[in-house]
Amino acid sequence: MIIPVKWIDGAVEMLDQRLLPNEEKWLTLRSADEVADGIRDMVVRGAPAIGVSAAYGIALGVKNFVGTSLIDLEEEFEYVCETMGKTRPTAVNLFWAIDRMKRTFQKAKKDDKTISEIKQILIADAKAIHEEDIESQRLIAKFGGELIEDNSTVLTHCNAGALATGGVWGTALGVIRGAVNQGKNISVIADETRPYLQGARLTAWELLQDDIPVTLITDNMSGHMMQKGKVQAVVVGADRIAANGDTANKIGTYMVAVLAKANNIPFYVAAPLSTIDLQCSTGDEIPIEERNIREITHIQDIQLAPDGISVSNFAFDVTPNNLINAIITEKGVARAPFTESLRNMFDD
Ligand code: MRU
């Protein structure tokens, strides 16, 4: 069972995903700044995992506060929230977790809690965010698994697995695990996912651990596999879903969605409600992270491209809603028109 981030003995433990699959090393992070660095530097990655980590990082920052003034505590809390918010811009789960921790802080303050009580309340809420995330993935696995037919090969892009979430299931890989648990015969095609290779390094590693048959391909092979009838469904995760269903996910997802449409293959997005941003009315409003060009010019220390070359390194793209057959959440399956079906997911 993979759980990539944990709160243990008053510190945050993270499985260093930069080293997988070659090394399984855990880092112990003892300050909010270290957690923020861990998110920024991709020790932990994947939208829900970033949200859970940020919540733990905020709790850690407040736990480490040594003063006796509530005003100073609040100042420190705001600073820590701001630091977390500057780590990665696209995954909305980060901002969702920060907002929730802010509401929890304000409620504790309004309830006249002491500094020591506020610290405990924030730690408890970060743990609750983590547990709720795992439960959401379990439900996504159940609902999504039902959409996948027996004897299917499912193509996925990037890593939307246990590593990318609070753990255990994952979103896209949760759907695959759900279908397998329902007794279906499922195999997976994993795009390698240049430039960061989340597919080759992480999805391949996760699925091998679970004995789910997986074949690794280069990103430019997926069209050929679809054309040859080797793919029955595509399932991906999401970093931010706009109110109209437009979905930001790992760079290359849009290409896969276009190819799926051209080949009449269902394209599913799996994500918890914490990934849906009703404040963004369309995908045009989603901020897209641009990362260091070295990720493209080099593989580890090996230089691939000539010095001085101009490079673009967009980490995400937006798949328009008309290419998406369904969005699978913990509340069930949303279909077009998404503006209505996604909004309904938030009604209790
Ligand atoms: O840059 P990353 O590795 O954080 O990007 C991750 C993805 O794009 C995932 O598909 C997405 O966060 C969904 S994770 C359940």
**Among 18, 43, 158, 251, residue to substitute to test ligand 1 (most atoms within 8 Å of Cβ):** 158
Is residue 48 in contact with ligand 1, taking CB distance under 6 Å? yes
Judging by beta carbons within 10 Å of its beta carbon (0-12, 13-18, 19+), is residue 273 exposed, middle or buried? middle
Taking CA atoms only, the protein residue closest to ligand 1 atom 6 is: 46
Q: Under CATH, what is the fold of the domain 140-347?
A: Rossmann fold (3.40.50)
Atom number in ligand 1 closest to CA 316? 8
Question: Which positions are catalytic?
Answer: 239
**Among 198, 235, 253, residue to substitute to test ligand 1 (most atoms within 8 Å of Cβ):** 198
Helices 172-181 and 115-145, interaxial angle, to 10°? Answer: 60
Cβ-Cβ contacts under 8 Å for 5 (sequence gap 6 or more): 12, 13, 14, 15, 44, 49, 52, 53, 56, 130, 166, 167
Q: What is the pLDDT of residue 294?
A: 96
Q: Is-same-fold flag (5-138; 140-347)?
A: no
CATH classification code of 5-138: 1.20.120.420
Is residue 160 in contact with ligand 1, taking CB distance under 6 Å? yes
Sites in the chain below the pLDDT cut of 70: none
The per-residue pLDDT for range 193-207, each reduced to its tens digit, is 999 999 999 999 999
Is residue 238 in contact with ligand 1, taking CB distance under 6 Å? yes
User: Domain spans of the chain?
Assistant: 5-138, 140-347
Q: What is the pLDDT of residue 300?
A: 86
Is residue 164 in contact with ligand 1, taking CB distance under 6 Å? yes
Q: What is the pLDDT of residue 234?
A: 98
